[in-house]
Structure 1
Amino acid sequence: MEQIVLTTLTAAALGTLAYALRIPPLVGFLGAGFLLGAFGMQPFPGLEQMADLGVVLLLFTIGLKFDLRSLLRREAYGTATIHLAVLTVISMGTVGLISAIALSSLDGGWREAAVVGFALSFSSTVLCVKVLEERSDDGSFYGQTAIAILVMQDIIAVGFLTANSDTPPSPWALLLVLLVPLSWVLRRVLDRLGHGELLVLFGVVMALGPGYFAFSSVGLKGDLGALVAGLLFSTHPRAIELSKSLFSIKELFLVGFFVMIGLSASPTWLDLGIAALLCVVLLPITFIGFVLLGRMFGLRNRTTIRTSLVLSNFSEFSIIVTAVGVSTALVSEKWLTIVAVAVPLSMVISSLVNTRSLNLTDRLSAWLPEQDPLRLRVADRPIDTSDADAVVLGMGRVGRAAYTRLAEEGELRPLGVDNDHLVVQRLLEDGYKVVEGDATDHEFWNRIVAGGFVRTVVLAMPIHDSNLFALEQLRAAGFDGRVSAVAQHPDQLAHLAGEGVGAVVNVYGGAGAALADATLELPLDDA
Structure 2
Amino acid sequence: MFEVVILSIAFLFGIAARLLSLPPLVGFLAAGFTLNAFGPSIGLPSDAGPLLEHLAHLGVLLLLFTIGLKLNIRSLAEPVVLGSAVIHLLLTSLLFTAGLVIFLSLALDTAILLAIALSFSSTVLAAKVLESKRELRALHGRIAIGILIIQDLVALAVLSVYGGHSPSPWALAVFLLPLARPLLYWLMNAAQHDELLVLLGAVLAIAVGGMGFEAVGLSSEVGALVMGLLLAKHPRAQELSKALWGLKEVLLISFFLQIGMAGLPDKQALLFAGVMAILLPLKGVLFFALLIAFRIRARNAFLGGLSLTAYSEFGLIVAASILQEWVVPLAITVALSFVIAAPLNRIAHRLFDRWENTLLRCERQSRHPDEQPVELGSATMLVLGMGRTGYAAYDFFNNKGLSTVGIDSDPNKVDGQRHVFYGDIEDVGFWHQLNIANINAVTLATPELESKLIATRELRKAGFKGHIIAGIHFQDEAAPLQSAGVDQTYLLMTGAGIGIAEKTWESLQGSPR
TM-score range, shorter chain: over 0.9
Deviation for aligned residue 1:477: 2.8
SS at match of 1:384: coil
Normalised TM-score (structure 2): 0.93
| Greater mean alpha carbon deviation, residues 120-129 or residues 367-376 | 367-376
Deviation for aligned residue 1:123: 0.4
SS at match of 1:246: helix
1:289 equivalent in alignment to 2:286: yes
Distance in 1 (alpha carbons) for counterparts of 2:97 and 2:222: 27
1:483 equivalent in alignment to 2:477: no
Distance in 2 (alpha carbons) for counterparts of 1:314 and 1:371: 25
CA 180–368 in structure 1, closer or farther in 2 if over 3 Å, else same: same
Contact 2:117 2:318 in 1 (8 A): yes
CA 492–357 in structure 1, closer or farther in 2 if over 3 Å, else same: closer
| Greater mean alpha carbon deviation, residues 9-18 or residues 501-510 | 501-510
CA 324–391 in structure 1, closer or farther in 2 if over 3 Å, else same: same
Distance in 1 (alpha carbons) for counterparts of 2:231 and 2:471: 31
Mapping 1:386-405, distance limit 5 Å:
386-405=377-396
Letter in 2 for 1:506: L
1:160-189 CA-to-partner distances (Å, cap 9, x unmatched) read 112223331000001112321222111112
Distance in 2 (alpha carbons) for counterparts of 1:247 and 1:180: 25
Distance in 2 (alpha carbons) for counterparts of 1:246 and 1:193: 14
SS at match of 1:31: helix
1:24-82 CA-to-partner distances (Å, cap 9, x unmatched) read 11111111111111224332441111100000000000000111121121110000001
1:390-438 CA-to-partner distances (Å, cap 9, x unmatched) read 2101111111011111122223x2211112233x14x44xx12112223
Deviation for aligned residue 1:495: 6.1
1:356 equivalent in alignment to 2:347: yes
CA 460–268 in structure 1, closer or farther in 2 if over 3 Å, else same: same
Contact 2:456 2:485 in 1 (8 A): no
Segments of structure 1 that go 5 or more residues without pairing to the other structure are 100-104, 327-332
Distance in 1 (alpha carbons) for counterparts of 2:344 and 2:500: 47
Deviation for aligned residue 1:334: 4.0
Distance in 1 (alpha carbons) for counterparts of 2:385 and 2:378: 19
Cα RMSD over matched residues?
2.1
Structure 2 partner of 1:409: 400
Contact 1:291 1:305 in 2 (8 A): yes
Mapping 1:447-466, distance limit 5 Å:
448-450=433-435, 452-466=437-451
SS at match of 2:119: coil
Letter in 2 for 1:418: D
Deviation for aligned residue 1:492: 4.2
SS at match of 1:483: strand
Structure 1 partner of 2:146: 148
Mapping 1:326-337, distance limit 5 Å:
326=323, 333-337=324-328
Contact 2:460 2:485 in 1 (8 A): no
Q: What is the percent sequence identity of the aligned residues?
A: 38
Structure 1 partner of 2:31: 32
Contact 2:382 2:441 in 1 (8 A): yes
Distance in 2 (alpha carbons) for counterparts of 1:365 and 1:156: 34
Distance in 1 (alpha carbons) for counterparts of 2:474 and 2:336: 39
Distance in 2 (alpha carbons) for counterparts of 1:465 and 1:56: 29
1:121-155 CA-to-partner distances (Å, cap 9, x unmatched) read 10011111011111111121111110011011111
Mapping 1:229-378, distance limit 5 Å:
229-281=227-279, 283-326=280-323, 333-368=324-359, 370=361, 375-378=366-369
CA 210–463 in structure 1, closer or farther in 2 if over 3 Å, else same: same
CA 482–127 in structure 1, closer or farther in 2 if over 3 Å, else same: same
Letter in 2 for 1:513: I
Structure 1 partner of 2:74: 69
* Partner of residue 47 from structure 2, selected from 37, 42, 50: 42
SS at match of 1:267: coil
Distance in 2 (alpha carbons) for counterparts of 1:368 and 1:460: 30
CA 456–396 in structure 1, closer or farther in 2 if over 3 Å, else same: same
Letter in 2 for 1:433: H
Mapping 1:171-182, distance limit 5 Å:
171-182=169-180
Contact 2:47 2:262 in 1 (8 A): no
CA 35–442 in structure 1, closer or farther in 2 if over 3 Å, else same: farther
Deviation for aligned residue 1:373: 7.3
Letter in 2 for 1:291: F
Structure 1 partner of 2:133: 135
Deviation for aligned residue 1:494: 6.3
SS at match of 1:417: strand
Structure 2 partner of 1:329: none
CA 499–314 in structure 1, closer or farther in 2 if over 3 Å, else same: closer
Distance in 1 (alpha carbons) for counterparts of 2:160 and 2:49: 30
Distance in 1 (alpha carbons) for counterparts of 2:174 and 2:145: 23
SS at match of 2:424: coil
Contact 2:163 2:322 in 1 (8 A): no
Distance in 2 (alpha carbons) for counterparts of 1:462 and 1:280: 36
Structure 2 partner of 1:204: 202
CA 499–151 in structure 1, closer or farther in 2 if over 3 Å, else same: closer
Structure 2 partner of 1:20: 19
Letter in 1 for 2:186: R
Structure 1 partner of 2:218: 220
CA 334–489 in structure 1, closer or farther in 2 if over 3 Å, else same: closer
Contact 2:277 2:333 in 1 (8 A): yes
Contact 2:409 2:425 in 1 (8 A): yes
Distance in 1 (alpha carbons) for counterparts of 2:475 and 2:266: 54
Distance in 1 (alpha carbons) for counterparts of 2:483 and 2:278: 46
CA 372–158 in structure 1, closer or farther in 2 if over 3 Å, else same: closer
Distance in 2 (alpha carbons) for counterparts of 1:94 and 1:343: 18
Distance in 1 (alpha carbons) for counterparts of 2:373 and 2:244: 35
Structure 2 partner of 1:445: 431
Contact 1:386 1:449 in 2 (8 A): no
Distance in 2 (alpha carbons) for counterparts of 1:518 and 1:369: 52
Aligned residue pair count? 505
Contact 1:373 1:381 in 2 (8 A): no
CA 323–501 in structure 1, closer or farther in 2 if over 3 Å, else same: closer
Distance in 1 (alpha carbons) for counterparts of 2:4 and 2:215: 34
Normalised TM-score (structure 1): 0.91
Structure 1 partner of 2:168: 170
Contact 2:122 2:313 in 1 (8 A): yes
Letter in 2 for 1:247: W
CA 162–514 in structure 1, closer or farther in 2 if over 3 Å, else same: same
| Greater mean alpha carbon deviation, residues 205-214 or residues 361-370 | 361-370
